Amino acid sequence: MSKAIDWERRIGRRLRLRDLHVFFAVVQSGSMAKAAAHLGITQPSVSAAIRDLEAALNVRLFDRGPQGVEPTVYGGALLKCGLAAFDDLKQGIKSIEFLSDPDTGEVRIGSSEAVMAGCIPAIIDRLARRYPRIVIHTMEGIGSSLRVALRERRIDLVVARSLPTLEEDLVAEQLFRDQLLVVAGIENRWARRRRIDLSELVDESWVLPTPDSRIGILISESFRSRGLALPSLCIASNSMILRSRLLATGRYISVLPTSFLHFGGEQPRLKVLPVTLPGIVPVTQIEKLKNRTLSPAVDRFIECARAVGRSMAVSPKPASSRAVLP
């Protein structure tokens, strides 16, 4: 029985890529001399490389003859696996080059429905205009599920409203404060009023986020902070698209974030009412894993997200409480 090869010592420490490259040249040319000429090195250097490989593997790789050399059965096996290994390595190097080029690459982001309908299209559009070869993948979900995907490295970043706590393995960067606005359709009777107190709207027909959602809870707390009863809820939905469509009928009042109205395109049938929800200014932020090296393409996305966030900071917004959620 042949002696087992010590893979750690002979392969990990003694097998060199240069020797494999020489081996491939000898197989292709069928001659040590021809391989040397092709590689631009001396024939003794080629012979030494082959000897080193045979010593590392403890087998003969070539049969020598008057017409040159032919791979042995061991040489054929090395040729097969060596070519596969070199191809994998070549593809890996191409991937590294792809990732290191800041103008190409892929970005995988996770976001909530609210943010996806607001600032995300603006960030993607800004990125696409500057770096059209970068590919964007999006995942929609809630904060906890997005953080799981982030930890499993299925996404690179989370762009969402801040949650009350941030785990130790994550780092967050604030993009902008996203004030919540009371909105109605232009045909709603309140759309013509120049001054409105929140108490006047309690008995109106509201379409709001579900009461158990984070924003639904905050809206309830806002009314309570004024000593008011909760508004009359007609429709409960966390979909801002649905809420905006229902608002356009003129029958309802709702709450939408500034980012949705700012980035969500023209909303000609909606009007922000002159009323304040006290104490609610959620923060939209980027979350990522600590100590994870991100590709240049992801860095480009973050740069565009910061620019979009700055545009929110300078855009005119109705006066509101400046308390920021944790």
Cα(183)–Cα(206) distance, rounded to whole angstroms?
10
Please give the pLDDT value at position 240.
83
Please give the pLDDT value at position 325.
33
Give the pair of three-digit tokens for residue 49.
Answer: 């490389």
Partners of 109 in beta bridges: 138, 157
Please give the pLDDT value at position 296.
84
Please give the pLDDT value at position 6.
57
Please give the pLDDT value at position 266.
58
Closest to 135 in 3D by CA, of 160, 101, 93, 158? 101
Please give the pLDDT value at position 110.
96
Number of H helices, E strands in the chain: 12, 12
Domains of the chain (ranges, CATH numbers): 7-100 (1.10.10.10), 104-177+282-314 (3.40.190.10), 180-272 (3.40.190.290)
Partners of 181 in beta bridges: 256
Please give the pLDDT value at position 241.
84
Q: What is the pLDDT of residues 61-96, one digit of tens each?
A: 999 888 889 999 999 999 888 887 787 777 677 667
Q: What single-letter DSSP state applies at residue 21?
A: H
Give the pair of three-digit tokens for residue 201.
Answer: 């709207």
Please give the pLDDT value at position 172.
93
Cα(157)–Cα(142) distance, rounded to whole angstroms?
14
Task: Please name the residue that has the structure tokens 């299209």.
Answer: 121
Low-confidence stretches of the chain (pLDDT beneath 50): 1-2, 316-326
